[in-house]
A and B are shown apart, each in its own frame.
Chain A
């Protein structure tokens, strides 16, 4: 049952470079060692060691409750805002220890942007104000800078052409897919090194989903992307690297294996990975 049919998941032209990359894995943008997360007395994730390669898309896959989102949110210290949550182990952004006591979490979050499952533009702000909110609310006032940032972020999110004439209208007037691209633009405007995406297309229709997937392939040239997805085909289509997490009866969420997406989907090392990617579990 090894997956020749799985090959059909891959878009024909998407990653011709990736195969050649097998021996030259890029330097990590984010390194995690012994990462675990505890909510109150309940351990949700434990012992994750992994490198997220720079300038690549890494997909986190696995069945519900395996800790994909928990892992993602520990990278930008978003668990800080959850009462009772404790992150164990270490996360490094380049050489920077993300959880070092002297580190200001807001700086980390400006360098590691995030896009959520449901599009969450600020409802009271216009399209323009949404895009520049991360800059403006961090004290940048110069019109010229804000305008430049807004245009380039919207260009990167493939939204500029459709909204450039109505920047001052409410973000809520956009369609779901456009709202999600606006959220991507808003995250990009802060010029992050890494972009975390938590099932960014699960609330979108197939056309909007495919637009975002295309966008991700274009974006990865400028920013490292880590994406959580429930959709195996999506992981196969967009990611360069793939990490499979799992929760088992006697073991909390943990990393089973990670590697090149092609390899994970065609000849995974662990039988559980194979069962999952071929749809027999999860």
Chain B
């Protein structure tokens, strides 16, 4: 029984020879595939790097202490700044976040914990809402806040941005809550803790790093949007802090100053674009650092 049949020996030899031959071919294929991946990566990086490079090179000239501390000046008069737009963006986006994130995360918890027709419908609606053109959202805020009130306002801009942030917060929040293992739910339930309490004190806490990331993601998406602000905040040349008034914002400065024929205003637009870029980058980096830090247990 230990003697191997002749046909089996032949087959073995054939298999080994063929393996040796194909080895070379597979090596080449591997190198080609790796090269293609590298090429794809370069193609993808080119626009990204050029945008950053262009914005930095054009924007850095506008940056100065005055740029961040003074109010805008009319075209031709040097020394203008964007402090009102910085503060405006902070107020508008901050208020939008306060409106959108808590609601978003509650919906996210619902979606993460419920299967069924209602959850699927909500998920579908949220996905559609995520694809809504920003300008449409601006029009919506115009219709429900600006028209009834009779004037443009920071509040209406916040409403528009909140609507924009909501689907992002919901979907990113759902993902964050879903990463909490089912084990943890069962562990809590089996201890005789009420479901709502398990959700609040155990699940949400475990999902916190993800929720922080989701928040910053939603905020950084909203902060760069100009379209929803066009007929809501509308922009302002003065230092406005009242929610009932028109307010300046960074993205509006980029838009309005960028389309002016005056070089100094165009420079302001580039400087503001760079400011936005840096803010978004800081938000992303800090969300990552914060998430990592929260994951590392310290008490």
Instruction: Tell me which of A107, A116, A134, A187 contacts B186 (CB under 8 A).
Output: A116
Cβ contact within 8 Å between A108 and B299: no
Closest A residue, CB atoms, query B191: A134
Cβ contact within 8 Å between B186 and A78: yes
Cβ contact within 8 Å between B193 and A138: yes
Number of B residues, CB within 8 Å of A: 25
Instruction: Tell me which of B115, B187, B193, B201 contacts A106 (CB under 8 A).
Output: B193
A:53-73 near B, CB below 8 Å: none
Q: Bound complex: CA of A8 vs CA of B219, how far in Å?
A: 66
In the bound complex, residues from chain A placing their C-beta under 8 Å from that of B193 are 106, 133-134, 137-138
In the bound complex, residues from chain A placing their C-beta under 8 Å from that of B188 are 122, 133, 137
Cβ contact within 8 Å between B191 and A110: yes
In the bound complex, residues from chain A placing their C-beta under 8 Å from that of B189 are 78, 81, 109
Cβ contact within 8 Å between B202 and A133: yes
In the bound complex, residues from chain B placing their C-beta under 8 Å from that of A278 are none
Chain A CB within 10 Å, residue with most, of B189, B198, B206: B189
Cβ contact within 8 Å between B192 and A170: no
Closest B residue, CB atoms, query A138: B193
Q: Bound complex: CA of A168 vs CA of B206, how far in Å?
A: 17
Closest A residue, CB atoms, query B207: A124
Q: What sequence of 0s and 1s flags, for each residue 105-123 of chain A, a beta carbon within 8 Å of any chain B beta carbon?
A: 0111111011010101111
Q: Tell yes or no: A234 within 8 A of B by CB.
A: no
Cβ contact within 8 Å between B297 and A170: yes
Cβ contact within 8 Å between A116 and B183: yes
Closest A residue, CB atoms, query B189: A81
Q: Tell yes or no: B293 within 8 A of A by CB.
A: no
In the bound complex, residues from chain A placing their C-beta under 8 Å from that of B297 are 123-124, 126, 169-170, 172-173
Min Cβ gap A203→B in Å is 11
Cβ contact within 8 Å between B190 and A76: yes
Question: How many residue pairs between the two chains, A and B, have CB atoms under 8 Å in the bound complex?
Answer: 85
Q: Bound complex: CA of A106 vs CA of B115, how far in Å?
A: 22
Q: Bound complex: CA of A130 vs CA of B256, how far in Å?
A: 56
Closest B residue, CB atoms, query A135: B191
Min Cβ gap B209→A in Å is 10
Cβ contact within 8 Å between B183 and A133: no
Q: Tell yes or no: B197 within 8 A of A by CB.
A: yes
Q: Tell yes or no: B70 within 8 A of A by CB.
A: no
Instruction: Tell me which of B187, B194, B208, B299 contacts A126 (CB under 8 A).
Output: B299
Closest A residue, CB atoms, query B206: A124
Chain B interface mostly helix, strand, loop or mixed?
helix
Cβ contact within 8 Å between B183 and A138: no
Number of A residues, CB within 8 Å of B: 33
Q: Tell yes or no: A237 within 8 A of B by CB.
A: no
Q: Bound complex: CA of A83 vs CA of B205, how far in Å?
A: 24
Chain B CB within 10 Å, residue with most, of A83, A107, A108, A133: A133
Min Cβ gap A125→B in Å is 8
Cβ contact within 8 Å between A170 and B299: yes
In the bound complex, residues from chain A placing their C-beta under 8 Å from that of B191 are 109-110, 113, 133-134, 137, 186-187, 190
Q: What sequence of 0s and 1s flags, for each residue 274-299 of chain B, a beta carbon within 8 Å of any chain A beta carbon?
A: 00000000000000000000000101
Cβ contact within 8 Å between A137 and B183: no
Closest B residue, CB atoms, query A126: B299
Q: Tell yes or no: A183 within 8 A of B by CB.
A: yes
In the bound complex, residues from chain B placing their C-beta under 8 Å from that of A110 are 191-192
Q: Bound complex: CA of A147 vs CA of B108, how far in Å?
A: 36
In the bound complex, residues from chain B placing their C-beta under 8 Å from that of A113 are 190-191
Cβ contact within 8 Å between A109 and B187: no
In the bound complex, residues from chain A placing their C-beta under 8 Å from that of B208 are 124
Min Cβ gap A136→B in Å is 8
In the bound complex, residues from chain A placing their C-beta under 8 Å from that of B187 are 116, 120-122, 183, 186
Min Cβ gap A75→B in Å is 11
Cβ contact within 8 Å between A190 and B192: yes
Min Cβ gap B157→A in Å is 36
Cβ contact within 8 Å between A168 and B202: no
Q: Bound complex: CA of A169 vs CA of B296, how far in Å?
A: 11
Q: What are 24 A-B contacts defined by CB distance under 8 Å?
A: A78-B190, A81-B185, A113-B190, A114-B186, A120-B181, A122-B184, A122-B202, A123-B184, A126-B297, A133-B193, A134-B192, A137-B193, A137-B197, A138-B193, A138-B194, A138-B197, A168-B299, A169-B299, A170-B299, A172-B297, A183-B187, A186-B191, A187-B190, A190-B192
Q: Beyond A81-B186, A137-B193: 19 further Cβ-contacts under 8 Å?
A: A81-B185, A106-B193, A109-B189, A116-B190, A120-B181, A120-B183, A122-B187, A122-B202, A122-B206, A124-B297, A133-B188, A133-B193, A137-B198, A137-B201, A138-B192, A138-B193, A168-B299, A187-B191, A190-B192
